[in-house]
Structure formats: structure tokens, C-alpha cells
Amino acid sequence: MPQMSSRPYAVVLAGGGGTRLWPLSSPHRPKPFLPLLHGRSPLAVTLERLAPLVPIADTYIVVAANQVQLVRECAPQIAADHILAEPVSRNTGAAVALAVATIERADEAVMLVIPADHAVRDDDAWRVALAAAADHASREEGTLYTLGVVPTRPETGFGYIVADGERVTRFTEKPQREEAERLIAAGARWNAGTFAWRRDSARSALQRFAPSLINGIGEYSTVPAGPIDTFVMEPAAAAGLVRTLPLDCGWSDIGSWGELRAHLLPRASMEEIRMEAPGGRTIVISNEHGVIALQPNGAATMDLEQMSGSDLRAASERE
């Protein structure tokens, strides 16, 4: 693992709307807090994966105020003053700005920004990539680093990082299949929402490209909502300030029932995984039948894997 020139700290983003894995998830208990990964929550698994690189004492979690108790349940080892509660959810742009503004660290300290709800197969490879990004960022004031996942297919549901060598030239969000194929052929990588930068680099970028975020933290409800990619990373890339390193670790955002099944079950597996959902339902995950929701009486009611995101959202809103 690369030796980092300074001790980094980590900011884990634990937000989410809680509709894409309905009926297991809900706005009251979104994906980071569900027992999705063999009985454990993505948040707990993320913190365990991170710990050899960044100790718990240097780890912070940003979460909506109404989900702080969920963090305490899933990650009791996190100190109360290391949980940054957002009064209202404003997406990752405001969450990052909140962390930059409120966590007291030296200007040259490296901040790692990590989603709480992703999964990987190779923990060591993930840590090696993150350590490399942290090391580069520590020696390059003003430069923002992002990890790009080596693609395995022309996925239309992910964002892509387009780069010339390490220098990011642009970000492309959720392309059509043909465009995704062209991007992959040209060497583009998936955007995993995982970043490394010095604290002063992040503050400078926010002041330059998104002053309404960093200057509005005191009145959080008025801060504009949107992802850090749109507010900072895209204009910073256009200004030549963003670099990327590859991430090849069996990554998944487990952002749909199909993604979760693919991560949990190898293609040849005959295993069946069951999860208890609200309302007495049981979720059954298998390669033979996909992802099925069973009613309390055992009757199959729907094939969740075949439902669109809008269908799942509508079903969640009806409950």
C-alpha cells in the first residue's frame, strides 16, 4: 500500500432517499442502514473496510438529522461529535461543504470523501487505490482527485469520468448505451463518487466554483441542492484541476435490486438469500428467479428486479 505523506481523515456520506430498494428501504431507513451485505449494513461494512487506512478517531459521517439514530445503531463506535447532522438533505454538494467548513483540520490535511452505501469485492485493492489518491493529493495543493472504476460493461445508470491520462477533461452523466460503449472504448471509467483532496484545496474549489455552498452553511435550508460533481468537480475539471486514478476492486453501487443480486451471488451460485421487509414481506434473491417479494402468506406479489426506478419510487410513496 502506498505510504501517505500525512495522516488523512475520512468523511463518509450516508444520505439517500430510500426508494430504489423498496420495499426493504424507505425514506426512514435508506440503503446505508439496511442489512444488505450478508446481514450487515453498507455503512458498517464501509467503516470496517476503511479502518486499516483511516482509524475511527479520524472518521466522520454526514447524515440527515432525522437519521442520526440510524448511524448510532449501525456504527456505535463513531463519536457523537463526529456525526455531522444536516438539518435538511441537500445532496452531496452541501454535505461536502458542511464537512469542509466544520471539521477542524490543518489546511494541508487530506480529506477522503467516501459513499456509505457502496460495496466492493476486494477490500485491499480499494484501500490501495484510496491511499494512492490521498498521497497524490497531499503533495498537490489545489488538485482534486477522484477514483474511477474500471468498467465491466456499458452501464447506462452510472456517470463516467473522461480523462487524458490522469487529467480529467469532463464528466458524463448516465449516457445512452451506444455512448457508454464509445466512452469505455476510449478509456473512460465509472464515477464512484470517491474523492481525495487537501482541505485547503477543497475550500478553494468551493469558494471558486460554488460559493453559495460554502458561504451558506450557516443557513443550511437555503443552500442549493445538488451533487458535488455538478457544483465543483465538473467546473474544476474544465479548469484543469481534477485528476483520476483507477479503481479495480469489484465495485458496485448496489443501487438496484439487480446490482445487489449480482454483487451477492456469483453467476453460477444456486444459493437463495432471504431478507425480511416491512409489512411482513420477505425478499427472496436468487439467480434462478431474480428478486421476488413474498407476501406474509408466502404468495409472490412482484418481481422487484423488473420494476423501474419510477415504479419503485411510486410504490414507496403509496405506503
- Residue range 185-211, pLDDT digits in tens: 999 999 999 999 999 999 999 999 999
The residues spanned by each domain of the chain are: 9-148+189-247, 257-318
Average pLDDT over residues 265-290: 86
Instruction: Grade residue 4 by pLDDT with cuts at 50, 70 and 90.
Output: low
Q: Which fold has domain 9-148+189-247?
A: Spore Coat Polysaccharide Biosynthesis Protein SpsA; Chain A (3.90.550)
Please provide the average confidence, as pLDDT, over all residues in the chain. Answer: 92
Q: How high is the pLDDT of residue 28?
A: 85
Q: Which range among 159-168, 209-218, 247-256, 276-285 shows the weakest confidence by mean pLDDT?
A: 276-285
184, three cell numbers: 469505455
- Residue range 6-23, pLDDT digits in tens: 689 999 999 777 778 989
pTM beyond 0.95, yes or no: no
pLDDT at 135 over 80: yes
30, three cell numbers: 435508506
- Residue range 86-134, pLDDT digits in tens: 999 999 999 999 999 999 999 999 999 999 999 999 999 999 999 999 9
- Residue range 51-72, pLDDT digits in tens: 999 999 999 999 999 999 999 9
pLDDT at 156 over 60: yes
- Check residues 297 and 53 and name the one with the higher pLDDT: 53
Residue 61 near residue 78, CB atoms below 8 Å: yes
Q: How high is the pLDDT of residue 3?
A: 54
- Residue range 24-49, pLDDT digits in tens: 998 888 999 999 998 999 999 999 99
Instruction: Grade residue 137 by pLDDT with cuts at 50, 70 and 90.
Output: very high
Q: How high is the pLDDT of residue 215?
A: 95
